[in-house]
Structure 1
């Protein structure tokens, strides 16, 4: 068994990955400042260190076998308004992390990247060899880190994998009874927003454009279950090779439209979901779907929970039983 540092391990994806690492028998340290993470997301059995990514140097030593890096600002709109925040944290913070790993002799990294590096793609499904042309500072910061990691592998022998997510959704319910799901405040992702309408916490869901060249006129996106995503990270740790930087898309390889998501929420919850058509948002491609062929071949990864109904059902269970309101957040310390 190994010992891993999980930066941003109190956030949505980081917490699920940390829980999977513990379940596999590994030793886990979570580094998180709880700015956007939640103390409830730190799995029982993980050591918690309160701090920013720049504080990795005071945690890492030769006892660690690797790092899984999730500590990033990730709001596209905010990155347009405050790009300096994204360069400072996402890029500057990762520079500090890589330096700390080098000094401690920690030679393995799995990086949480994003489909936002592709911007508005020329075709779908998107492959890793398609042009990377991010349309926001957020996507640009993630692409810059990917380039940085490639250089680190070539120059210093780092073994690394960058996993480019598409739309992560659902929730994970561990064997010990702990539940991990989306707690974003404010929320910006479609499935939890539609679930908030079903809960009566939001009056309606806005459908931004119904005249796209898709079967029902609404945007199509590739949704991946967060538990499937977590398994890919563990496989990436096993597959990482010294001096090489593996980049993989993670998605189901098929897409669901905004209206399909809304209809699925109605079916799963049994609640009405009022909707209102709004103007298109700038920069919203009609279809964003991943080719995950490289992840299948290089990692041996297969999504096991690819059905939209299962993804929504897990998210609904979490929203009802666990998420509650934004007041749950306790930034003072870990539970």
Structure 2
């Protein structure tokens, strides 16, 4: 006997029945309407619309996540340049490759966890062919209530292993807009990862950005050590570094570009420092912190001794829970990072690197 059940999303709740795409995933209903502000996804979608007005080659692609990825405004403004391939991430990436081969500038918007399904296509159909495809990696980092299957904590590890692929991470909406404009000017593939979060500096429709939009920047100087980080974790690092002043003075670096890592910049900012901390909303295995360690091992840091601590997620699946709760559980809040800065300066270290000039 075969039972074929046709489900209806939101059955019994009129708002969900009328707009099922807006109720793909919801938090518990407490009877209150919450203003979540402007999200990275919204900034992405609004910026893409403005850029597409200037360049008719730009097309948008999604795999059944039009509104979740912020592509709703683009789909409405350019219905003939918008492609929803359904739940088929592999096809979305291959379609983008074919379009790029024919001279278009495709942008694939996909959640970090779902990009795992299209990884083979990223390697063989996009990167190997050196095609100008932009991959907008939404929900990068922990996503909260969607649970372990949706945590976007592996993409840096698997994307930075792909030759020729540039990986960017904006701190806020302004950086996201600039990075998207920059990415669409490139001759090869670019991935831009950003979290499920609201963002400050939501300037959309930014003018085409110079290469400075993706260059690393020291947002706070320091004499004793450096915290290397990216994305919204920059603000966590700033709060932590400021809280240990004046006893300790840590610089904070917003890397912006996670691949390729600017080794010369790292060597320069580490000159005269004793401590290195890396901070990421991502697994430690093969992640951002690993890339910093690789640079230090390969090129040297110009110092005889550096104490290094990497902060991120251990080798385990991250469970269900709010983003705030998960960050606290894994030691990624500003007070917890500040405590690590104090401890590394007092002698407790995860790893010691002995390195000289390359």
Could you tell me the TM-score, scaled by structure 2's length?
0.33
TM-score, normalised by the number of residues in structure 1: 0.35
Larger radius of gyration: 2
